[in-house]
Structure formats: C-alpha cells, structure tokens
C-alpha cells in the first residue's frame, strides 16, 4: 500500500481545511461541551493562527499546549502548524517540575494552558523564556494576585478572524514534538514532521481499521499522547469522520455511561482500562458496547484473558497492537476477524519489522530477540539529544527496546521491554507470559511480574497482585495457591516463588506498568 506525498504539505490544510471544504456542515467534534462542524473548527483554527502571528510567533517557534481534550486543544495544535510553528502538546495533569522541564527543554516561546493547569504551570512560566502564556477556561478561578503575565483565551483571540494564509511547509519540515512518558530519567521529545500523520492515517486508520466517514471515534487515551492524538484527532479527520471528546479523567463507570449515550463506532483504550471496565461490569455496572464495530488496544500487550473475557461479555474482539511515540502510532496490529489472543498481529501497511539478536542478526521463528521497525511515521530525532537519537536509530530502522518472537504463522508476540526481561536458570522469561497465566486465576484482577536477585544474587521472578473486588487471599495461603495454579500452566523456572498483594500497581500516565518501581520494593 503506497502513498504519494506532495512537494508542499501542511497538516492543517490536510486534516482541517480539506474536510471543511468538502463537508463544512458535518460535525467534526462531538460529545464535549462544544460540538463543532468542520467549518466551525476551521474558523477556530484560523483564529488561533491569526492570534499567534499577531503575537509574533514565527515559523519553527515552539507552542506548548497543556489543555484537556477539547476544541481548544485541536484549534491550537493545527493553528500553530498552519503558520509553520511547532506544536508541543504535554500532559495537562502534570506537576510543576514537569512543566519546568517541558518549557526549558522545548524552548517554547508561547504556551496555551487550561485554567485548571495554570496553578502548577505559573512558576514554570515565570522562570522561562516564554513570551506569552494564554489561559483557556474561566479566569475568575484564578486569584488576580497569581495571574502574572497570563492573558485570557477570549481576550487573545480575534473576534472576527480572517482567512490565514498557510505557511508553505515541506513534508519533512518539523510539525510537532511529542514527549515520551519514559520509565526513568527526564522525558524526551520525539520530533515529528508533516508527512508522519499521513503515513499513520494511511497505514493504520485506513489500512487496518478501515475507518469510514460515518464513524465516531472515541479514545480513552488523551490527545497529548501519541496514541490518543491519532485515535481522537487526526484519524477521524483523515476520512471526514467525527471524534468524541471526553476532557475529564477517565473512570470506567463514567466511560461506560459516555459510550452508551454517544455510541461511538470505534473504541480505543489500553489493557489496564479494558480490565477496569470488565471489573465494573462484573460488579453490576450497566454497559452497552453495541454501537462499537472495532475495539483497539495498545500501550502494553493485551493479556489473552482480557481479550477472551471482553469478547465473551460484549461480542467484540479487541485488536491488539503496539506502537510508540517515536513511530507516532501502531507498527504492529491484529486484524478484524483474524485476531488471535496473546499476539500483536503483523506489521501495519507501510511498516516493516525484524527481530534481531545482540549482533543484529535475524533470529529464527520462535526465538526471542530485539524488535526493530521502519517506515510509518518514524520520528526525525530526539530534540536536544543527538546521542540518544543515534543510539536508537540506525538508518531507516528504529530499536523499539522491546523483546519479541515471531511464530510459524508470522504473528508477533510481545515478551516485554528489554530491561524487563529476566534470565532465570540461564533462560529468558517474559513477564507478560507469567502475568497472562496469573490473570486466569479467579482472584486476580491485575498483576505484574519482575525479576529480583535472591540472597545469592540469582534473578528470580516475583509477582505483585491486585485482587478482585470482594476477594481476600485464598485460605490456604496466597503463595501456595497461586504457585500451584501457575505450575499447571508454565514450566517450573518461570513460576514466581514470592507473591505480594498490593492495592494498585504503579503506572505511567499512559497506563503502562512501571516495573522498575516494583523492582525497587
């Protein structure tokens, strides 16, 4: 599946102006407090673009965006790139120290933040090179003494916007930064170009999902994540579909009510949230997924237990896949009607994948190795980090940092992050394999398995378990109960001897389990 890319390309024209010219009265944004047609959304994009230009924003200036999922987020993102600036969306629920890092590292001159974020953001703004901070939302919630140099969104935008001339950009010009969530150390920004969104829309949204103009997409993952940015913004816009936006923190009961009310046709989430939905359903929460034709999972491998339980309860097979901030979206994915529990499917159209050993030689089918990928929406570099860029990128190939094996049917199986894999008795152990077996136990809601050295310095698997609601540790002792359960499903060296019941597992904002924190306990 090939795709021609024009010599000049600006994603604001591609994803906003083009659909607005074709179907101006069709709803682009639904579900939020402000529903907008494509024509109205284009008008909002032009207002932001005009305001940025009149504020002195120049091509390649960075515009930091700390907004919830909203029309303001989308208008700011595309308004900035329309004039050749670089959009930098970041977590709108982060801490003050995070904003210090984002502002300093990106070198942003402009920041658009939500009123609920401004308290944490204000000190970062005052000790930075920002020329302008704009606050969206009701400013009466801010103490005037703490307003600083911020201006109100309503006062900043022009009342009567003009058509704004699009900056002529090339497919390879930088368009946006996306900060990786990371498992340690400061977050780093992956630099993405205008062509990258076209590649992932063509390869995954259209090539895998078959997204249609009559679809309504809904993403539990937020727009400031690479996964959510495609799911909830440019994927639906690429085919003239509508997106359902939910600005608040996702809770399974509220998301269930939102889905029943707004009836999305394509539903995106992460494994931990699918598990949370199942727990709510089993506890008696009413759920209606009858409108959904495709359910998608990413972020971490989807356990076979969750896949099967969701299919049994709602009649939906979840398409599991894997992607990254660096690749912008999915590079491996299952296909509708062909999803096999426990696998990530095959390469997405436009992407290639290889499993290599430490010497970068291809491994045999069934053997675990390092996954390298190419194509798709691969990033240009890590901002301000040539050394990191050179370590992860080799020509057209990117080292994902994940361990995989490919089976005889050419399906790819995720085994864990490279630094999460364990060698026990000289053999590789995949945390996800042990976790999937544990999830089959009726008492286990969530779990994570890590490798820790024993008193002799030998690495042994250790399990951390969250029990299902209303369940207490089995009467004969948790360790012996779960150890016996695993021994009927796994070879002995893979079975943990040590189990810990915890109230919750440490996770990144994207829902990935932070196993490094568990290793430190």
CA angle at residue 401 from 220 to 330, to 5 degrees? 40
**CATH code of domain 11-193:** 3.40.50.980
Decide: 65 and 78 in contact? Cβ < 8 Å.
no
Q: What is the mean pLDDT of the chain?
A: 90
Specify the pLDDT at position 508.
Answer: 76
What stretches in the chain show pLDDT beneath 70?
Answer: 1-3, 139-149, 181-185, 425-426, 456-458, 473-476, 510
Are 250-417 and 422-519 the same fold in CATH? no
Measure the CA–CA gap between 96 and 98, rounded to whole angstroms. 5
Specify the pLDDT at position 425.
Answer: 64
Strands 216-219 and 266-269: parallel
pLDDT tens readout for residues 277-304: 998 999 899 999 999 999 999 987 788 8
Which CATH entry fits the domain spanning 250-417: 3.30.1490.20, 3.40.50.12780, 3.40.50.720, 2.60.40.420? 3.40.50.12780
Specify the pLDDT at position 1.
Answer: 43
Measure the CA–CA gap between 280 and 259, rounded to whole angstroms. 14
DSSP symbol at 58: -
Q: Tally Cβ neighbours within 10 Å of residue 138.
A: 12
pLDDT tens readout for residues 372-417: 999 989 999 999 988 889 989 999 999 998 889 999 999 999 887 7
Q: How many helices (H) and strands (E) does the chain have?
A: 17, 27
Collapse the DSSP code of 402 into the 3-class scheme (helix H, G, I; strand E, B; otherwise coil) and give the result. strand
Q: In a 10 Å sphere around its CB, with 0-12 CB exposed, 13-18 middle and 19+ buried, how is residue 293 labelled?
A: middle
Measure the CA–CA gap between 260 and 28, rounded to whole angstroms. 20
HSE-CB at 332 with a 13 A cutoff on CA atoms is 28
Which CATH entry fits the domain spanning 422-519: 1.20.1740.10, 3.30.300.30, 2.40.160.60, 3.40.50.300? 3.30.300.30
Interhelix angle 431-439/304-314, rounded to 10 degrees, is 40
Domain boundaries, the chain: 11-193, 250-417, 422-519
HSE-CB at 426 with a 13 A cutoff on CA atoms is 0
Name the nearest CA neighbour of 127 among 147, 90, 99, 162: 99
Measure the CA–CA gap between 416 and 498, rounded to whole angstroms. 20
Name the nearest CA neighbour of 97 among 58, 71, 131, 123: 123
Q: Tally Cβ neighbours within 10 Å of residue 377.
A: 28
Decide: 30 and 207 in contact? Cβ < 8 Å.
no
- What is the Cα 304 distance to its own chain's centre? 21
Specify the pLDDT at position 183.
Answer: 46
Beta carbons within 8 Å of 495's beta carbon, 6+ residues apart: 434, 461, 483, 486, 487
Element (H, E) at 105: helix 96-106
């Amino acid at each position: 599946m090939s795709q021609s890319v024009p010599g000049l390309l600006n994603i604001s024209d591609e994803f906003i102006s083009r659909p607005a010219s074709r179907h101006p009265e069709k709803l682009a944004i639904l579900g939020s407090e402000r529903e907008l047609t494509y024509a109205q959304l284009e008008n909002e994009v032009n207002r932001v673009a005009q305001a940025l230009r009149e504020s002195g924003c120049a091509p390649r200036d960075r515009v930091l965006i700390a907004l919830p999922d909203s029309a303001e987020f989308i208008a700011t993102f595309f308004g900035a790139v329309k004039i050749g600036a670089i959009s930098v969306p970041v977590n709108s629920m982060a801490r003050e120290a995070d904003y210090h890092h984002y502002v300093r590292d990106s070198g942003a001159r402009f920041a658009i933040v939500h009123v609920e974020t401004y308290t944490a953001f204000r000190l970062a703004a005052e000790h930075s090179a920002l020329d302008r901070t704009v606050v969206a939302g009701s400013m009466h919630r801010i103490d005037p003494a703490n307003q600083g140099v911020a201006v109100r969104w309503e006062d900043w935008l022009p009342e009567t916007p003009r058509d704004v001339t699009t900056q002529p950009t090339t497919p390879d010009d930088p368009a946006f930064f996306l900060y990786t969530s990371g498992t340690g150390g400061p977050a780093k920004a992956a630099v993405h170009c205008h062509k990258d969104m076209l590649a992932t829309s063509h390869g995954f949204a259209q090539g895998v999902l078959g997204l249609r103009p009559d679809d309504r997409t809904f993403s539990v993952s937020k727009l400031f994540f690479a996964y959510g940015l495609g799911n909830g913004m440019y994927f639906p816009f690429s085919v003239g579909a509508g997106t359902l936006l939910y600005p608040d923190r996702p809770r399974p009961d509220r998301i269930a009510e939102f889905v029943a009310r707004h009836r999305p046709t394509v539903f995106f989430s992460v494994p931990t949230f699918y598990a949370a939905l199942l727990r709510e359903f089993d506890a008696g929460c009413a759920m209606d997924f009858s409108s959904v034709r495709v359910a998608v999972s990413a972020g971490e491998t989807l356990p076979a237990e969750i896949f099967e339980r969701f299919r049994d309860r709602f009649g939906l097979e979840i398409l599991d896949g894997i992607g990254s901030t660096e690749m912008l979206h999915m590079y491996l994915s299952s296909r509708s009607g062909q999803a096999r529990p426990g696998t990530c499917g095959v390469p997405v159209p436009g992407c290639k994948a290889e499993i290599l050993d430490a010497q970068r030689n291809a491994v045999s089918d069934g053997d675990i190795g390092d996954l390298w990928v190419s194509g798709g929406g691969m990033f240009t570099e890590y901002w301000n980090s040539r050394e990191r860029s050179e370590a992860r990128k080799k020509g057209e190939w990117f080292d994902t940092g994940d361990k995989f094996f490919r089976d005889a049917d050419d399906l790819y199986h995720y085994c864990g992050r490279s630094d999460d894999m364990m060698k026990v008795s000289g053999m590789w152990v995949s945390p996800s394999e042990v976790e999937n077996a544990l999830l089959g136990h009726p008492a286990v809601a969530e779990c994570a398995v890590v490798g820790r050295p024993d008193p002799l310095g030998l690495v042994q698997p250790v399990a951390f378990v969250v029990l299902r609601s209303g369940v207490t540790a089995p009467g004969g002792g948790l360790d012996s109960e779960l150890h016996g359960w695993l021994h009927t499903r796994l070879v002995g060296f893979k079975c943990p001897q040590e189990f810990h019941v915890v109230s919750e597992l440490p996770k990144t904002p994207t829902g990935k389990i932070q196993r490094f924190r568990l290793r430190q306990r």
